[in-house]
Structure 1
Amino acid sequence: MKNILLAILLLVTSVASAQTKVGGVVVDEDDRPVAFANLLFKDSYEGTITDDNGHFYMESDGSHKTLVVSFIGYENVEIPLTAKVTYDMKVKLKEAAQQLDEIVLVGGKQPKKNNPAVEILKKIWAKKRENGLRKFKQYAFKKYEKVEFDLNTIDSALMKKKIFKGLEFVFDDLDTSRITGKTYLPIFLNETFSKVYGDNLLDEEKEDILGNKNSGFDNNQAIIAFVADLYQEYDIYDNYLKFFDKSFTSPLSRTGVDTYNYALRDSAFIDNKWCYNIVYYPRRKNELTFKGDFWVNDTTYAIKNINLEVTKSANINWVKEIYIEQDFEVVNDSVFLLKRDYMMSDFSFQKKEESRGMYGKRTTVFDDYVFDQEKPKEFYKQESNPYDPVVLNRDSTFWQNNRLETLNKDEKGIYQLLDTLKTVPKFKSYYNLVSILGSGYVEIDKWNMDIGSVYDVFGYNQAEGPRLRIGARSYFGENDLWRVEGYTAYGFTDQKFKHGVSGKILLDRKNRLIVSGGNRRDIEQLGVSLTATNDVLGRSIASSSLVTVGANNRLTNINLSKFNIEMEPITNVRFGIGGTFRTLSSALPDDFSLDYIDPDSPTGVSSEIRQFDFNALMIYTPGKRTIGYGVERKGMNDDYSTLLLSYTKGVDVVFDSDFSYSKLQFSYSQPWQIGGFGRLFSTLEMGKTFNTVPLGLLNVVPGNQTFFSNYGTFPNLDFYEFVTDTYVALHLQHNFNGRLFSRVPLLRKLNLREIIGLRGVWGDLSDENIALSMPATINTPLRAPSEKIYYEYSFGIGNIFKILRIDFNFRGNYLDAPDARPFSITGTFGFDF
């Protein structure tokens, strides 16, 4: 959410060298737009097709005199181009008495059988694993990447807005997009030069970053994280391409014939290789698809050039356009290697043609391929430091020698522009506002400190009433080797101060050896997750829910101290050991009890638990990618699984603790991309507590008495409705991303998204544990779902007004329980693509 919010907020803050530019709209005789009409510069292989609304824009480095427009069922139109730039064209097509043969006509529904384009596509599928880097045992190449952000659709009205008063100089140099024809102003540029090594036999690859340069934002954590998360790697030969958390069907996919129309448009020599030109466009609207064309070699069936443009009807928010272009280099008769990869996204509030927005562009150039030079496996385990001061401070000579694509005039000016802007107070104010709302923290540079999070300032619960919280953390940069943070809070009903403080330090960067510790004294809602870790500064649901269902009065006073050692000797495999000491007692004794039988107490009953635990933890996250090397790294992807194994040993001889016990827990979370049918997220949790412990140390099946959807909880359960010492739980949630609603005519234009969920838990509770907590059962009956699996199911509608999701939750059984809730409605807000 924060990354998307950052992109939206950035929306408010030379003439190109092409020889021929055309743009406009194609309509029929009744002035209705013609979607996916075919446009081609005559006697060339440069063309495009119109979008859903009949609009087009195309430019070429060459000089062309005629534009040919065609669509099946209509007469071809040849339009003389009397000027190099021709905008606002209105091309009207007339119905044809008979089809002409001079130009291959593209448009309408294309057949799947006896279609030469589909036959070529089948040969691409057969050959795709034989092309490119896969043909060699080892490979190495140079890689240059630049990421750029631009304000677009700049006109005189925008320049005169008050927000730019005093900043008019930024508009001195504007450029024009070769993809859309819109004016734009570059505002951010990041360059990276690296060398990549790979071994197909060992299935290993590493990238050594040798230089990194960025235009003025190198110390801003919010912007850096957004840039890193925005563009991820993709392979056009894959069946599905993932952008902005959505999976788009690739035009080269084996399922493409059910998703796209294909037509063979042309054939020609490109780089002395005979290639076929195939045009493709979606069979249905509102699906996650592209339109465009590609050139493919006639013998290797390797792609020579491809462009992909997301259709405007695609069910994706805040992004008006996505355009991708890849060029492949002919190495020899049988090898085509990626030479240049270009991707442009147009972020905008609306998808209207004239709406303003922001371009995000990534250009990656590959060169100097070397093959079959074997390196030992240890070589791939040696990590370089992309944040080495030498890497970050390369001189101009380095960049002149290693830029595989030169900067244009406007790109060169970004560095000077940002240096100037940072001295303007008004710009600094805008910059700070974006940073605060994006990261949640107010940066105090002169103190090397962040104040926040601003989203946690106000809270409410029944024990504290209204609650105010203020926190701070040290922050010298995104790669800090140590961090200290803390907060204080005050409840106006209980009139008590709470606090939390923690510190951590990275002692060994190679093995990521981290030592941490801290203390927290606060009010917490225990039992909000089955597999919980004792995070010193963990934010509790107790202080974040203004409105709840039923009596949300089962709250706990907690005083937690923790010391922990963590290391990551193998990438994405973390081990941790440590100890925690905590005292637990009810925050509302008249409504909720943690009492247990204690023969050593004068009354025979104790109301407070004192407990020292030894903890051992292993977390495995295969496929997770991060940026930074500091004590707190940032994730770059969310498509990895998480396996967690935890062992807890309660020791009664340390700090006069009350109980000796053992607890073993395991969880496995996995996102699954189900082709074009959306995304399934699954979580399996298992655990068992050995020996006898009171209610405060048992595993509570996580209920949810708020009106907010919270994955991993059971929204129709109250807190402490089920308590276990042995449990198995499964959560399944599938988001179809509008796949079903897009086929319903009345719902298609709303871009709604359908979500279904199924969750269940089985658990047991020993008679000994029930007997130990007998005093607490006066107002907290102890019951486990041991008779049968407790389950719930839900149906949700997402993307309402682009920000709202509503879930309708149904309780499957145990309806005889007192005050059981058979049905509930929960929801959540968020800026999702």
Structure 2
Amino acid sequence: MFAHYLSNFIKVLLLIGVLCFLAVNKMLAQTAPPTVVRGILNDAQTQEPLIGVSVYFPDTQIGTVTDVAGKYVLKANQAFSQVRFSYVGYKTVTRFITPNQSQELNLSLDNDSQQLTEVLIKGKRHYRNKNNPAVDLIREVIAHKAANQLQQYNFAEYEQYEKLRFSITNTPEKMQKNFLLRKFPYLISDLDTTTLKGKALLPFYLQEVFSNNYYRRNPDKNKKIITAEKKVDFGEYIDSKGMQAYFNHLYQDIDIYQNNIPVVTNQFLSPIADAAPTFYRFYITDTVATQNGKLIKLTFEPRNETDFLFAGNLYVTQDGNFAVQKADLGISKTINLNWVRDLRIKLDFTPDEAGKYHLSKSEMRADLGLTPKGNFGMYGTRLVAYKNYAFDKPQPINFYDGLPVVTAELVSQPDENFLQANRPDTLTASEATTYTNIETLKNSASFKRTADWATLLIAGYKKAGPNIEIGPVATFYSFNPVEGFRLRFGGRTTPHFSKKINFDTYAAYGFKDEKWKYYLGATYSLSDKTIYDFPVRSVRVSYQQDTKIPGQELQLIQESNVFLSLKRGINDKYLYNKTFNLEYLQEFENHFSYRLGLKRWQQSPAGSLAFERITTSENQSALLSHLTTSELSAELRWAPNEKFFQGKIYRTSFVGRYPVFTLRGIAGVKGLFDGEYNYQQLTLNVFKRFSLSQLGYTDVVTEGGYLFGQVPYPLLSIHRANQTYSYQFQSYNLMNFLEFASDRYASMMLDHCFNGFIFNKIPLIKKTKFREYATLKVLYGGLRPENNPAENNQLLKFPVDASGVTTTYSLEDKPYVEGSLGIGNIFKFFRIDLVKRFSYLDHPDTSELGIRGQFKFDF
């Protein structure tokens, strides 16, 4: 199960691994000292510190903001003679400074706003929505949402620039003493010490994307054409596309006009959602005079500080449109959110000639702490700038066809002249060197050695020369009742060996059954990319001789993994399989794929399992040594807008809001390569996550299957059971292996996470930040008479135990039902479920209750 945890945890572990190993090139030595300005800003009347004041050098993008104590530090390596202080509701101030020197400048800013008259702000104990002018105002904003969204137009288009940056954070002292960074002493010469107070930032990821965006209302369609893109590339050790996809998954577009806003994999209720007055408190705290007219400042906060809600300010127009002109969003430290020390979102809207406000700038900053004391972590920012809006200019009808995101004819990794001419903001000094730093880093021998060992820890593979990888190490040793102690050793070729063809193999030996097992496989890429680069087009051929447990289907983990060796109950019914597979895979950019296959499969019983057939009227039986089938198969899969991380063994998909459809068809052909049976089988699986805002989310899997033809029980649908102590969502955790078989079935699995909605309201317990889970799984099925051994003595008998009691059943009488209640977020990455089985409790060796655990990483 540890490998499953690793695959789920890889999204951040890879970062942590990269964080520790990243290096930056030594900057050119500066010929002049930097210009540094520091100080404290207060309100001129109240002398209270001002939080979030913009401090910057005029006509540049070099700036900072004041912290909760009103303090700031502004630093640049250039010579500047002026510094400017700007804050909504206060007069903008510009002061002269001495270039290339460190100096202190404390100021008191004068209020430039007009206070509302006859506004009463009530305390929390007396707060109510009725007769509250702030609530009346927010309800007007909600009522006018449709008139202020982009979707009000039949057609819309705009240009967009986005910049995504991630940095390692730690105290400057620990950064300098880090034993890995000491291998690269030049690293500390370019640390960013001005962005976060008391912290040093070492940038390791930077991505810039320029695009043209188009919207059509009827039928609803968005299209994004990427015109230029530049990002860091870590080479073979890290899936850079997957890293980009995951960072974009964490930092999605912020649309305050939507009811729910996705933030670091969770759904936050917007302060202008339809239900916002139920969950938020609102106060009118100010009016602000701007060049575009007066704005009303609405301050809001959660009614419950532990819910997934924002706190901050909205600035609303007074022109009758009730549009949001500016928004500052933050979160409470008491919220049930892992790893996030601080999060801030700023939105700016600019009016067009018709007086309609459109988003002009969106900035999200998140400070992530990855250690208990919070010193070591990551700091991520995503800046998006919008310009050149145009409305009701339709494109040709077929323009919106095809993929929602396409890449235009562009120069990959555009040159610096293009970037400087088109960036709305200049890069900071530390950002400007990130591209070249990482390029140098990935080619350094020290980084390659360290990343090689990190790959062994995370993915389970270790290089043995440039062309071969050994692994996965978690399968080198395991044990089971049939093979006893089992040793296995294997490996695979790398893209250095060949981009077109990949070989993988292993050999295993069981010391109890004294049998060798082995696997040989080869995959040939039919495109100009490797078999790991999406979209894949490949042919694969393999031959395997190994053991298998009937009914065990694992997700994101290999069957011979040592962590699955411990199992509950009786587990001695195995198969010896000899399997030949020939497969063609075709993937498309829209994440539709199909897979065509040919399989010759010979099954032989092992352990206490026997293939026994009744042959005479006197009920005499005969044992078969094996069954042989030959199958033709086709699988269609569609995962709209799917994002994933490509690992060494599996792809790890990031759950989004779109469903995933998988349709499989199998046809057994009698006489083809000694196949003994004719049959056909269809299976449809649909996965979908439903987000329920403050109530969490529900993962739903529905599946149905039907088998045509008459077959012995090993060829029926043997339902996915789980006798390990790990919790597996798409398996039945209290069902025994080979307990149920069907030729037709339908199932539904629901796994709901409340995200702490209940625990957060219970004193003391809410401090644990535990999260509640509830699961329900229902399986209907049955056997037609021609496939039921109880009604057809020409079939193989269902397996029996040592006492002769049948241990495999159909689902004719009632459905199989199990459910669970779980507590998650234990130590931030572990979940424990109490599972209860509700039906078929009279079957031998069944358990009504069980405890199961799962490594589950969430923000």
TM-score greater than 0.5 by the shorter chain: yes
1:763 pairs with 2:787? no
- Could you say which residue in structure 1 is the equivalent of 2:166? 149
| 1:527 corresponding residue in structure 2 | 551
Partner of residue 695 from structure 2, selected from 674, 677, 686:
677
Secondary structure (helix, strand or coil) at the match of 1:226 reads helix
Provide the residue aligned with 1:33 in structure 2. Answer: none
Whether contact under 8 Å (1:21, 1:59) holds in the other structure is no
CA distance in 1 between counterparts of 2:852 and 2:209 reads: 44
Asked if the contact 2:490–2:505 (Cα under 8 Å) also holds between the matched residues in 1, the reply is yes
Q: 1:108 to 1:231 in 2, by over 3 A?
A: farther
Q: What is residue 94 of structure 1 aligned with on the other side?
A: none
Question: Contact 2:695/2:754 (CA < 8 Å) preserved in 1?
Answer: yes
- How far the C-alpha of 1:140 sits from its partner, in A, is 2.7
1:557 aligns with 2:576: yes
Query: Does residue 1:338 correspond to 2:346, yes or no?
Result: no
Query: Does the residue aligned with 1:231 lie in a helix, a strand or coil?
Result: helix
Q: 2:809 maps to which residue?
A: 783
Structure 1 residue 162, shift from structure 2 partner: 2.9
The CA distance in 1 between the partners of 2:829 and 2:644, in whole Å, is 28
In the alignment, the residues of structure 1 paired with residue 132 and residue 197 of structure 2 have an alpha-carbon distance, to the nearest angstrom, of: 31
Give the residue type in structure 2 aligned to 1:323.
R
Q: Tell me by how many angstroms 1:637 deviates.
A: 4.3
Which of 649, 663, 681 in structure 2 is aligned with 1:663?
681
> Partner of 2:152 in structure 1?
135
Superimposed CA distance per residue, residues 602-633 of structure 1 (whole angstroms, 9 cap, x where no aligned partner):
995423111011223322334434699x9998
Check the 8 A contact 1:143/1:194 in 2, yes or no.
yes
Tell me if structure 2 keeps the 8 A contact 1:319–1:345.
yes
Tell me which residue corresponds to 1:207.
Answer: 224
Give deviations 1:506-561, integer Å, cap 9, x for gaps.
459999755443333222222135xx9xx9x9833686512110122222222222
Unaligned runs of 5+ in 1: 24-36, 69-81, 87-99
1:697 aligns with 2:694: no
Q: Select between 269-278 and 786-795 the one with higher mean Cα deviation.
A: 269-278
2:96 paired residue number: none
- Determine the C-alpha separation between the residues in 1 that align with 2:405 and 2:87: 53
**Residue 673 of structure 1, CA deviation:** 0.9
- Report deviation, 1:712: 1.8
Per-residue CA deviations over 1:111-141 (Å, capped at 9, x if unaligned) read: 3222222222212222222224323332332
Give the TM-score normalised by structure 1.
Answer: 0.83
Cα distance change, pair 203–454 in 1 and its aligned pair in 2 (3 A): farther
Q: Distance in 2 between matches of 1:651 and 1:145?
A: 54
Equivalent residues of 1:143, 1:193 under 8 A apart: yes
Q: Cα distance, 1:143 vs. partner?
A: 2.1
Counterparts of 1:92-107 in structure 2, within 5 Å, are none
Answer yes or no: is 1:653 the counterpart of 2:671: yes
Shift of 1:451: 4.4
Q: CA deviation at 1:59?
A: 8.6
**Correspondence list, 1:807-818, <5 A:** 807-818=833-844
1:621 paired with 2:639, answer yes
* Offset, 1:241: 1.8
Q: Give the residue type in structure 1 aligned to 2:396.
A: P
AA in 2 matched with 1:577: L
Q: Pick closer, same or farther for the CA change 1:157–1:764 going to 2, 3 Å.
A: closer
The more displaced of 300-309 and 411-420 is 411-420
Distance 1:743 1:10, change over 3 A: farther
Equivalent residues in 2 for 1:110-259, closer than 5 Å = 110-176=127-193, 178=195, 182-222=199-239, 224-232=241-249, 233-234=252-253, 235-259=255-279
Letter in 2 for 1:117: A
Residue 224 of structure 1, CA deviation: 4.2
CA distance in 2, matches of 1:739, 1:518: 49
Instruction: Give the whole-Å Cα distance in 2 for the aligned partners of 1:704 and 1:623.
Output: 31
User: For the residues of structure 2 that align with 1:333 and 1:566, how far apart are their CA atoms?
Assistant: 52
Q: 1:570 to 1:148 in 2, by over 3 A?
A: closer
- Following TM superposition, by how much is the alpha carbon of 1:49 offset from its aligned partner in structure 2, in angstroms? 12
1:474–1:485: 8 Å Cα contact kept in structure 2?
A: yes
Matched with 2:280 is 260
Aligned partner letter, 1:816: D
TM superposition shift of 1:571: 2.8
Give the conservation status (yes or no) of the 8 Å contact 1:519–1:560: yes
**For the Cα contact (< 8 Å) 2:349–2:361, is it kept in 1?**
yes
Partner residue, 1:97: none
Query: Does the 8 Å CA contact 2:172/2:198 hold for their aligned counterparts?
Result: no
The correspondence for 1:307, drawn from 322, 325, 328, is: 328
| 1:88-108 per-position Cα deviation (integer Å, ceiling 9, x unaligned) | xxxxxxxxxxxx999986874
Deviations along 1:700-724, whole A, 9 cap, x unmatched?
Answer: 2222111000012222211111222
Q: Given that residues 521 and 540 in structure 2 are in contact (C-alpha distance below 8 angstroms), is that contact kept between their aligned partners in structure 1?
A: no
Q: Which residue of 2 aligns with 1:76?
A: none
Seen in structure 2, the aligned counterparts of structure 1 residues 661 and 167 have a Cα distance that, compared at 3 Å, is same
Q: Structure 1 residue 596: deviation in Å?
A: 4.2
Counterpart pick for 1:743 among 761, 764, 778: 761
The number of aligned residues is 776
1:355 Cα deviation from its structure 2 partner: 2.5
- Following superposition, the deviation at residue 402 of structure 1 comes to 2.3
1:487 corresponding residue in structure 2: 505
Which residue pairs with 2:377 in the alignment? 357
CA shift in 2, pair 1:152/1:539, >3 Å: closer
User: Are positions 1:289 and 2:309 aligned together?
Assistant: yes
Q: Are the equivalent residues in 1 in contact too, given 2:759–2:771 (CA < 8 A)?
A: yes
- Render the CA deviation track for 1:54-93: whole Å, top value 9, x for unaligned: 988779974489999xxxxxxxxxxxxx95469xxxxxxx
Q: 2-side partners of 1:772 and 1:315: how far apart?
A: 60
Matching residue within 348, 358, 362 for 2:369: 348
Q: Deviations over 1:120-167 (max 9, x none)?
A: 221222222222432333233222222212222432244134333232
Any conservation in 2 of the 1:59–1:179 contact (CA below 8 Å)? no
Alpha-carbon distance in 1 for matches of 2:838, 2:665: 32
**CA pair 396-551 structure 1, distance change in 2 beyond 3 A:** same
CA distance in 2, matches of 1:813, 1:38: 64
1:170 deviates by 1.4
Q: C-alpha deviations, 1:188-213, integer Å up to 9, x for none?
A: 32222222233223322222223222
Q: 1:794 aligns with which of 820, 835, 857?
A: 820
Aligned to 1:417: 437
Q: CA deviation at 1:257?
A: 2.1
* Aligned equivalents of 1:210, 1:133: Cα separation in 2: 22
Partner Cα separation in structure 2 for residue 17 and residue 267 of structure 1: 34
Q: Is the 8 A contact 1:20 1:63 kept in 2?
A: no
With 771-780 and 324-333 compared, the bigger mean Cα shift is at: 771-780
Deviation of residue 262 (structure 1)?
A: 1.6
- Contact 2:156 / 2:214 at 8 angstroms: preserved in 1? yes
* CA 101–56 in structure 1, closer or farther in 2 if over 3 Å, else same: farther
Q: CA RMSD in A?
A: 4.0
- Cα deviations across residues 381-423 of structure 1 (Å, max 9, x unaligned)? 3569978996324222222222232112221122343355456
3-state SS of the aligned residue for 2:850? strand
1:825 alignment counterpart: 851
* Contact 2:54 2:66 (C-alpha < 8 Å) held by counterparts: no
Q: Identify if the C-alpha distance between structure 1 residues 442 and 341 changes in structure 2 by more than 3 Å, giving closer, same or farther.
A: farther
- Give the 3 Å change call, closer, same or farther, for CA 112–178 of structure 1 in structure 2: farther
When residues 422 and 642 of structure 1 are mapped into structure 2, their CA distance, relative to the original with a 3 A threshold, is closer
Change (3 A) 1:104 1:223: farther
Check conservation: 1:488, 1:498, Cα contact below 8 A: yes
Q: Distance in 2 between matches of 1:825 and 1:539?
A: 22
Give the conservation status (yes or no) of the 8 Å contact 2:209–2:226. Answer: yes
* Corresponding position: 1:6 with 2:18: no
Report how far residue 330 of structure 1 moved: 1.8
